[in-house]
Amino acid sequence: MSDGPTEPAVVLAALERCLATADRPVPLHEPRFAGKEWDYVKECLDTGWVSSAGSFVDAFETMVAGLTGARHAVAVVNGTAGLHLALIGAGVDPGDEVLVPTLTFVATANAVRHAGGVPHLCDVERARLGIDPVRLEEHLSEVAERDDDGATRNRSTGARIRALVPMHALGHPADLDGLAALAERWGLALIEDAAQALGSTAGGRHVGHRGLAGVLSFNGNKIITTGGGGAILSNDDAFVERVRHIGTTARVAHRWELEHDAVGWNSRLPNLNAALGCAQLEVLDERLAAKRELTARYTDAFVDVDGASILQEPAGARSNYWLNAIVLDEPDRAVRDALLEVTNDAGIVTRPLWTPMHRLPMFADAPRMTDLTTAERLVDAVVSIPSSAHL
Ligand SMILES: Cc1ncc(COP(=O)(O)O)c(C=O)c1O
């Protein structure tokens, strides 16, 4: 980091040095299948076990639980479905408010709406990109109160505030110590949106099961992929039983009767996708190591770039560096857009962060913290850069 304006040509040159041997265009994040994927998928086709049960689903769940340290992992069709099920399983009822970051991929807020809830938008921290627990505490003290029965209510709407859903942006863990303590104080279910954070740890522990639950995504752009897919992590046996049940059409176990005791969903991950996932997980450690090397290379290359640096993992946490990112010292939409322009023109795919939820039409009326400027400034300061592990 140094002072002075950021020159797009200088940034491009730094990226070109790091990506000299990569074919153009260089995608932001590419899936790669160089392990046992063909063998495992062939086994599904040969045996006919292609749908939502099978040995690869069981093996995948065991592997995900093992490597995250969660007691349970429930494989689901995608991360959005996982968040939806987790919110329902946490008892989010129609009209309940759920605290989410305004700076997130839209699926976090969509899942709240799918569950009948109302996203309540929170600002984030500059360094970690996740919900700011100190400012959220101040906000809740102003707008909320706890009933005699322990429920937290929004004083102006009367709605119950039921859950807190932080998101680990780009793989960098949010402040889980602060957020877990806040959730405890206010009686909120803590559900981590860990869609981008497979392999990330905070305080030495894998993210995603600090509170009631967490959700991973295995979309094609993630660190490992099942094509589409996700997993709910939890250490709570009763919660896991509930989400498995409602995610499997709420079918009551019986040898032949098709009996259901609730309105459920069909959210289980097919065996075919789980087969891909098993092969991908076998190379996760290599991938995490390669990504750290890439981050080190980018970091070195940006030492001499004025006014910009490479985003680093927060203190006390280890990021999977899912997406590396350039951060401008001074947020500036025009400079950010100039960077996007020159890099994409040169065949190096770069992207801005997500449009904050409070700027999207469907969440325009959502309750929120009054000051969301840290998120706004980050959007004007951050550009994601190519981050596939094989780079
Ligand atoms: C933060 C975040 N939440 C949720 C999701 C939804 O996951 P999926 O695409 O698997 O539905 C994604 C990503 O793709 C994400 O990045």
Contact 4, 332 (CB under 8 A): no
Which of 219, 276, 322, 384 to mutate for ligand 1's pocket (most ligand atoms within 8 Å of CB)?
Answer: 219
Q: Is 193 in the pocket of ligand 1 (CB under 6 A)?
A: yes
Rounded to the nearest angstrom, the distance between the alpha carbon of 79 and the centre of ligand 1 is: 5
The pLDDT tens digits along the chain (391 residues) read: 446 788 999 999 999 999 999 999 999 999 999 999 999 999 999 999 999 889 999 999 999 999 999 999 999 999 999 999 999 999 999 999 999 999 999 999 999 999 999 999 999 999 999 999 999 999 999 999 999 889 999 999 999 999 999 999 999 999 999 999 999 999 999 999 999 999 999 999 999 999 999 999 999 999 999 999 999 999 999 999 999 999 999 999 999 999 999 999 999 999 999 999 999 999 999 999 999 999 999 999 999 999 999 999 999 999 999 999 999 999 999 999 999 999 999 999 999 999 999 999 999 999 999 999 999 999 999 999 999 999 9
pLDDT at 304: 92
Q: Is 192 in the pocket of ligand 1 (CB under 6 A)?
A: no
Ligand 1 atom with minimal separation from the 169 CA: 1
Rounded to the nearest angstrom, the distance between the alpha carbon of 303 and the centre of ligand 1 is: 32
Domain 37-281 belongs to what architecture? 3-Layer(aba) Sandwich (3.40)
Neighbouring residues of 359: CB distance < 8 A, sequence distance ≥ 6: none
Ligand 1 atom with minimal separation from the 107 CA: 4
Q: Which fold has domain 8-31+284-385?
A: Aspartate Aminotransferase, domain 1 (3.90.1150)
Q: Is 173 in the pocket of ligand 1 (CB under 6 A)?
A: no
Look-up of token digits 């995610």 = 247
* Nearest residue to 6 (alpha-carbon basis) of 374, 356, 333: 333
Which of 28, 80, 83, 269 to mutate for ligand 1's pocket (most ligand atoms within 8 Å of CB)?
Answer: 80
Q: Is 190 in the pocket of ligand 1 (CB under 6 A)?
A: no
Q: Is 195 in the pocket of ligand 1 (CB under 6 A)?
A: yes
Q: Is 78 in the pocket of ligand 1 (CB under 6 A)?
A: yes
Rounded to the nearest angstrom, the distance between the alpha carbon of 169 and the centre of ligand 1 is: 11
Q: Is 63 in the pocket of ligand 1 (CB under 6 A)?
A: no
Which of 76, 105, 168, 267 to mutate for ligand 1's pocket (most ligand atoms within 8 Å of CB)?
Answer: 105
Q: Is 369 in the pocket of ligand 1 (CB under 6 A)?
A: no
The per-residue pLDDT for range 150-183, each reduced to its tens digit, is 999 999 999 999 999 999 999 999 999 999 999 9
Q: Is 105 in the pocket of ligand 1 (CB under 6 A)?
A: yes
The per-residue pLDDT for range 10-23, each reduced to its tens digit, is 999 999 999 999 99
The domains of the chain are located at 8-31+284-385, 37-281
* Nearest residue to 76 (alpha-carbon basis) of 204, 333, 264, 307: 264
* Nearest residue to 132 (alpha-carbon basis) of 120, 141, 143, 124: 124
pLDDT at 108: 98
Contact 247, 76 (CB under 8 A): yes
Share of the chain above pLDDT 70, in %: 99
Domains 8-31+284-385 and 37-281 share a fold: no
Ligand 1 atom with minimal separation from the 104 CA: 1
Ligand 1 atom with minimal separation from the 168 CA: 1
Residues 185-201 as b or e (16 or more Cβ within 10 Å = b):
ebebbbbbbbbbbbbbb
Q: Is 354 in the pocket of ligand 1 (CB under 6 A)?
A: no
CA distance 81 to 273: 15
Query: What would the two tokens of residue 77 be?
Result: 């069709």
pLDDT at 4: 73
The per-residue pLDDT for range 185-216, each reduced to its tens digit, is 999 999 999 999 999 999 999 999 999 999 99
Q: What residue owns the CA closest to ligand 1's atom 1?
A: 105
**pTM here?**
0.98
Q: Is 166 in the pocket of ligand 1 (CB under 6 A)?
A: no
pLDDT at 266: 97
Neighbouring residues of 20: CB distance < 8 A, sequence distance ≥ 6: none
Rounded to the nearest angstrom, the distance between the alpha carbon of 195 and the centre of ligand 1 is: 5
Rounded to the nearest angstrom, the distance between the alpha carbon of 217 and the centre of ligand 1 is: 6
* Nearest residue to 160 (alpha-carbon basis) of 211, 92, 260, 227: 92
Q: What residue owns the CA closest to ligand 1's atom 4?
A: 107
pLDDT at 1: 46
Rounded to the nearest angstrom, the distance between the alpha carbon of 203 and the centre of ligand 1 is: 24
Element of type H or E holding 89: helix 79-89
